[in-house]
């Protein structure tokens, strides 16, 4: 057994939906060791290696409890443990008993754990890492999407156009949450899918409230929306962006409405030879706002009442 853990063992792995998973991902990176979920760790069945356990047993279902209990009983040597909680469960007591080095996230938890391992150090939970300040980009684009509705072809075409431009571009990515789809997977898949077809600067904004989205729409230079099919009257994201006076880059086809005209009220990525100037974007945005100004819920209600 080496003196350094072979891996950090975690239960949750999605850092977008679980604080402990985010914590463990950052800690494993700082220690330069891999992070393994419990099922992967058990399947390796390497009981002679040293591990760092950073888990909350209160979140385990019965299957995981049984797996962990059985595997801990087979481990050789001493290990490292980070206690996020200590409720004197059998798993927590066992982790304390096999500890070589133990750290508790706060003094109350440390005091509880020290009854079973006297040398529990007091730790802490580091906050959000200070990110480097975003550089200024000449053109700021905003895009939005759901994980199951990303049309990568449009982003690929747009990326080729952008590459030929001397200006710097930034694409800001937001996600919409769809009922029945996993939020965590959406947060992971959307930026990955968009990023796979985009070579310029990309910033992931996550899920935004309507107010925050409206603010982003007002600040950006253009909006990028590629439905799976061509642009339609049913694309509320497109109409909403146009209503904000934003120039929308999308994909038109024979079923797109007649008021969506490339270079006038909208930008068809397939007809785009070079990215529009700031003046052209503003002109298209003004036209777009004018052409959709009647598309309100009040007017839709009137259609039912007339």
Under the banding of pLDDT at 50, 70 and 90, the label for residue 193 is confident
Query: Across all residues in the chain, what is the average pLDDT?
Result: 90
Residue 16: partners with Cβ closer than 8 Å, 6 or more residues away: 22, 183, 184, 187, 188, 206
User: Mean pLDDT over residues 213-238, rounded?
Assistant: 93
139-299 CATH pick, 3.40.50.2000, 3.30.230.10, 3.40.640.10, 3.30.365.10 = 3.40.50.2000
pTM of the model: 0.73
Q: Give pLDDT tens digits for 37-76.
A: 999 999 987 899 999 999 999 999 999 999 999 999 999 9
Among 253, 196, 244, which residue's Cα sits nearest to residue 217? Answer: 244
Residues 75, 148: Cα–Cα separation, whole Å: 42
Q: 């759901």: which residue's tokens?
A: 146
- Fold match between domain 7-122 and domain 139-299: yes
Q: Give pLDDT tens digits for 136-184.
A: 899 999 998 754 466 789 999 999 999 999 999 999 998 876 665 556 5
Q: For residue 20, how many other CB atoms are within 10 A of its CB? A: 21
Under the banding of pLDDT at 50, 70 and 90, the label for residue 304 is very high
Architecture of domain 7-122: 3-Layer(aba) Sandwich (3.40)
Sequence spans of domains, the chain: 7-122, 139-299
Residue of higher predicted confidence among 146 and 277: 277
Among 267, 219, 231, which residue's Cα sits nearest to residue 247? Answer: 267
Weakest mean pLDDT among 30-44, 86-100, 176-190, 239-253: 176-190
């Amino acid at each position: 057994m080496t003196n350094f853990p072979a891996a950090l063992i975690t239960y949750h792995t999605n850092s977008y939906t679980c604080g402990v998973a985010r914590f463990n991902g950052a800690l494993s990176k700082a220690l330069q060791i891999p992070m393994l979920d419990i099922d992967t760790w058990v399947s390796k069945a390497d009981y002679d290696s040293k591990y760092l356990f950073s888990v909350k047993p209160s979140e385990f279902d019965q299957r995981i409890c049984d797996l962990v209990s059985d595997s801990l009983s087979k481990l050789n040597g001493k290990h490292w443990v980070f206690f996020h909680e200590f409720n004197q469960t059998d798993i927590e007591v066992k982790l304390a008993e096999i500890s070589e080095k133990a750290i508790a996230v706060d003094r109350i938890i440390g005091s509880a754990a020290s009854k079973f391992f006297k040398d529990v150090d007091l730790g802490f939970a580091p906050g959000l890492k200070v990110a480097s300040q975003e550089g200024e980009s000449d053109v700021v684009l905003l895009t939005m999407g759901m994980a199951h509705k990303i049309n990568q072809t449009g982003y690929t075409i747009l990326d080729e156009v952008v590459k030929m431009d001397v200006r710097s571009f930034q694409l800001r990515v937001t996600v919409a949450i769809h009922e029945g789809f996993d939020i965590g997977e959406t947060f992971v898949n959307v930026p990955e899918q968009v990023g796979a077809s985009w070579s310029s600067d990309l910033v992931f904004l996550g899920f935004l409230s309507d107010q925050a989205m409206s603010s982003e729409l007002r600040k950006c230079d253009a909006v990028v929306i590629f439905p799976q099919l061509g642009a339609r009257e049913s694309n509320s994201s497109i109409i909403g962006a146009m209503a904000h006076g934003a120039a929308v880059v999308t994909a038109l086809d024979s079923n797109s409405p007649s008021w969506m005209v490339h270079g006038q009220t909208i930008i068809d990525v397939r007809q785009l030879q070079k990215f529009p100037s700031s003046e052209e974007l503003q002109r298209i945005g003004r036209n777009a706002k004018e052409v959709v100004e009647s598309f309100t819920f009040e007017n839709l209600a009137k259609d039912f009442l007339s």
